Homo-oligomer: A and B are copies of this chain.
Amino acid sequence: MTKQPSFREIRYNEKRQRILENAARLFAQKGYENVSLEQIAARLKLNKASLYYYFKSKDEMFFLIQMQAIEQANAALEQVLESEADPKEKLREAIKSHVRIATRDYITGTFRQMELVLPRKLMVRVIAARDQFEKNFQKIILEGVEKGVFHRQYWKLAVMSILGTLNAIPRWYSPRGELSAEQIGEALAGFILKGLSVDE
C-alpha cells in the first residue's frame, strides 16, 4: 500500500515544482549556460542555500525538467494507446495531445534546448525516455498498419517524419502566433493522417 503523502510532503513537492517551472522559463529566456543558481533563487525570492534544500545542482534541475516534459508526453501517448479509438483517431489524439504539451510555455523552452549536454549518467535516462516516446508512436502507427488503415511500406519513415514534425514545434511555436495549440494540433494531424492513410 502506498503511504499517503503528508501535508509537509505535498507542500515540499509543490514548492519544488514551482521552482522547476521558474527555472525552466529562465533557461528558455536566457539559455541554460547563462543562468546561475543565484538568478533562479532571486527570481523566487529565495536565497541560494535554500535552493539546495530542493535540488542538488542546476544539472539536476534541467534533467528533471526534461524528464517531466518527456514523461508527460509519454503518459499522454500511453493513454491514447490504451483507449478504444480506431487507429486514425488514436494518431489524431496522439498528435493533438503532444502539441498541447509541447506548446506549454515552460516546456517549449525545455524542448528547444534538449540537445544540451547533461552529465552522461543523466543523459542516458533522458535518452531512454525519448526512446520510449518513439516506441509509443511506432506502436500507434503499427496498429494502423496492421489493420490496413495506414500504408505498410516505409511506415518507419512515416514515424520519423511525424517525430521530426512534432519535435520541431518548440523551434517555431509562439504563443503570440495566429494559431492556437488546438488549431496547430488539428491541422498537423489532418496533414499527417492524409499522408499516411490508405485511401478508402
Contact = CB atoms under 8 A, between A and B. Distances in A.
Interface of A: 31, 33, 115, 117, 153-154, 157-158, 160-161, 163-169, 172, 179, 184, 187-188, 190-192, 194-196
A55 to B, nearest CB: 24
Nearest to A157: B187
Contact of A191 (B115, B167, B195): B195
Contacts of A196: 191, 195
Contacts of A164: 164-169
A101 to B, nearest CB: 16
Instruction: Count this chain's copies in the assembly.
Output: 2
B172 A188 contact: no
A172 B162 CA distance: 13
Nearest to A158: B191
Contacts of A191: 154, 157-158, 161, 195-196
Given A191-B196, A195-B195, A163 B168 contact: yes
Contacts of A157: 179, 184, 187-188, 191
Contacts of A158: 191
A127 to B, nearest CB: 12
Nearest to A115: B115
Contacts of A190: 154
A172 B184 contact: no
A187 B153 CA distance: 9
B195 A172 contact: no
15 contacts: A33-B117, A115-B115, A157-B179, A157-B184, A157-B188, A158-B191, A160-B165, A161-B165, A161-B168, A161-B192, A164-B169, A167-B168, A191-B196, A194-B195, A195-B195
